[in-house]
Chain A
Amino acid sequence: MNVDVKLIDTKDIFTRLFNENRDAIFSGSSEYVNTIRNKALEEFVRAGLPERKNEKYKYTPVNEYFSKDLQHNFSPKKIEFEVAELFRCDIPELDTRVILVLNGYYFNPLQELTTLENGVVFGSLRAAANKFPELFAKHYSQYAVYANDGVTALNTAFAQDGVFLHVPKNTTCDKPFQIIHLLMSNEAQMVHHRNLFILEENSEAKVLICDHTLSSHEFLTNSVTEMYAGPNSNLDLTRVQNEHNRATQLTNTYSHQMQNSNVSSNYITLHGGRVRNNVYVNLAGEGAHNNSLGLYLVDDTQHVDNFTYVNHLVPNCTSNQLFKGILDENSTAAFSGKIHVWKDAQNTQAYQRNNNILLTDTAKMNTRPQLEIYADDVKCSHGATVGQLDNDALFYLRSRGIPYKESMHLLMYAFAHAVLSEIKLQPLRERVIELVDKRLRGELSHCNNCKMKCQ
């Protein structure tokens, strides 16, 4: 069922949308998920979407994005879709388990859930909610807190499907999972979708998420990813965002880390009209370590805003944030990074860095570190820079015969390298490095590997 609505007031509109499409939205979801849906809508109506005066969204007027006249689907569209023909991912040679999500719905006509020999289960979130009610009662919507957060509340109310991954105790996934979020529509569209990854004690998984647009229409995606990293588990997430300039993407990623767990997440924003990444980390078990990294390459009038909230709840945890950006033309970007160290979280180490290069006078960067530290035995540092490429280095390269453009390229690449080198999976790292390289040379368009050629 597709509904067209002219949006005026987001609270009214989404409430109406919800009520009018209740049957479609609720159908297929588990009772538990639907109960939360109702509560989330209530909270959304109370809290509303953040406006410009909201400090957290100062540089990214989310409410305006949601006020647009966009189409909604409350059931998967019947697209005769031969993925292999339409789309080759930019990261092809990787030996991964590919999971497709089309306009927010898990896309595999043959099988909704797959169970591997080692007990790992992956597939449709919706199907999993019905099949594993205890797991959902324990984890679903436990980490993605929607109280006081209109964006996550809206997702919780509306999202119907996405990807579920469960890795049992003492299990290591043989191959990385590659989730490809595809957007394809014949009208401007809004999409809510949701992922839940559960890593039980002493397990290990690597996940790559690729975000793509396959048609030239305007899109607004509001996605939530919840990740539970059990004791001693290892989770590696890389997200490559490559959407077109008319697409707006909000990602909300919540990591909940138990003792001695290790979570690393890396957000590579290659392309996209407007991108807001919310990165929430709860260090909830002693000895947990978190790495949060990002690289954003923006030009034209693109806008990328990364927001982090690293929450040190217990003692002896470490966290490290590194976000880097290169801004060209009239682009804008923002970084706001929060480290919150609770009173009992002694012996915390928390680091944060944000470095930016502006290639033009018209590009604009806003960066704000925010530290709230209530424990006294804490090693904490933060630093933010906004500058130009190093002129001395540029001249040094040119003085050896390397042309200006190539020298610039080498330096930009070098700048980005610190983030890329943290991608642990070697073939993936090399592939992402190649993509970034192309992007910096201006040779990468989001349409590269799509045969639609819609523009």
Chain B
Amino acid sequence: MLSIKNLKVSIEDKEILKGINLEIKPGEIHAIMGPNGSGKSTLAAALSGRDYASVTGGSITFLGNDLLEMSPEDRARAGLFLGFQYPVEIPGVSMVNFMRSAVNEKRKYQKLEPLSSSDFLKLMREKKEVVEIDSNLTNRSVNEGFSGGEKKKNEIFQMAMLEPKLAILDETDSGLDIDALRVVANGVNKLHSPENATIVITHYQRLLDYIVPDFVHVLYQGRIVKSGDKTLAYELEEKGYDWIKEEVIAG
């Protein structure tokens, strides 16, 4: 589904990602962990097509297409979804209009008719239940005045609305209370299927108790320095990153 080969990414002429390799198949859940500043969000930015993350080398293939040739909106319509670490507030753009545009753009891409008003509202209702999001929130402007946790829930709500093939969730767990964490994880699990894949970027093993990964990767200084199964997450939780850093230095 997704194939990243020797990906190099710079921000303002500083090389942040120094050759990432990653293969993701349908049905898989990958967790990416790593210390602050190691480049996790930069990877997400490059995947979603953010212009400040300039790709200086390597390739990304997504469902057979050269992802790097595609605009951010085309990537989204092809089934890529980024749950932002810091969702943006957009005063004046209502959640309803925003989601209606997004859903219908995707349908257009799939050569389907736009949803009727009533079908759209029905879809909104259904998906709101999946992520247990307050109706008041979806009646407001996009993220405007939402609490940190509400913003994260809203990311999962959007993901539920758009049913992506590949979702990248960048620290969707941070800022969530215990109940919200469970709700968000349940939402992700409900949406998961053998046809789609998920990348969860997180600092905490706790999330991985709910969303059980098939693979765990450690990103450090712009490289994936270690990969393993879910037990790697426990090891990190217990021992921190020092031992990995030492391994890297030892080469």
Contacts and interface: CB of A to CB of B under 8 A. Distances in A.
A and B assemble together? yes
Interface of A: 390, 392-393, 395-404, 406-407, 410-411, 413-418
A400 B162 contact: yes
Contacts of A410: 90, 93, 97-98, 101
A282 to B, nearest CB: 32
A397 B88 CA distance: 10
B76 A413 contact: no
B98 A390 contact: no
A398 B93 CA distance: 14
A202 to B, nearest CB: 36
A404 B72 CA distance: 9
A54 to B, nearest CB: 37
Nearest to B159: A400
Given A398-B49, A400-B76, A402-B73, 5 more contacts: A397-B101, A398-B72, A406-B101, A411-B93, A414-B141
B194 interface: no
B204 to A, nearest CB: 25
A417 B144 CA distance: 14
Q: Which 3 A-B pairs have the closest CB atoms?
A: A414-B92, A401-B76, A417-B92
A395 B76 contact: no
Contacts of B109: 401
A401 B81 CA distance: 9
B91 A404 contact: no
B105 A401 contact: yes
Interface residues of B, number: 30
A404 B93 contact: no
Interface in B87-141: 87-93, 97-98, 101-102, 105-106, 109, 141
9 contacts: A395-B50, A399-B48, A399-B75, A400-B101, A403-B105, A410-B98, A413-B93, A414-B93, A417-B91
Given A404-B73, A410-B97, A396 B105 contact: no
Contacts of A393: 88-90, 93
Contacts of A416: 92
B88 A404 contact: no
A254 B158 CA distance: 49
B84 interface: yes
B82 interface: yes
Contacts of B162: 400-401
B84 A396 contact: yes
Nearest to B84: A396
Nearest to A396: B88
A395 B45 CA distance: 10
A410 B95 CA distance: 12
Contacts of A402: 73, 98, 101-102, 105
B105 A415 contact: no
A396 B144 CA distance: 14
B73 A401 contact: yes
B71 interface: yes
Q: Give the one of B49, B51, B93, B142 with max A CB within 10 A.
A: B93
B77 interface: yes
A399 B82 contact: yes
